[in-house]
Amino acid sequence: MNKKLKYLLLACFVVLGNSCANNKDYLVTIQTKFGDMKVILFDKTPKHKNNFIKLAESGRYDSTVFHRVIKGFMVQGGDIDAKEKNSPSKETVPAEFVPEYYHKKGALAAARQSDQVNPEKASSWCQFYIVHGDKFSKEELTVDQNKFSAKFRQYCDLEKNAALREEILNLYNTGDMKAYQKKVFSLVPEIEAEFNVVLSKSYPAERLQDYSSIGGAPHLDDQYTVFGMVVDGLEVVDSIAVQPTSLGDKPVEDVVMKVTVEEVNKKKITKEYGYQYPEN
pLDDT single digits (tens) 244-270: 999 999 999 999 999 999 999 999 999
* Amino acid 2: pLDDT: 58
Q: What is the pTM of this model?
A: 0.85
* Amino acid 150: pLDDT: 92
Q: List the domains of the chain with CATH numbers.
A: 24-135+214-273 (2.40.100.10), 144-195 (no CATH)
41-46: Cβ within 8 A, 24+ apart: 41/108, 41/227, 41/228, 42/98, 42/101, 42/226, 42/227, 42/228, 42/229, 44/96, 44/98, 44/101, 45/96, 45/98, 45/101, 45/225, 45/226, 45/227, 45/228, 46/96
All residue ranges of the chain with pLDDT < 70 are 1-21, 280
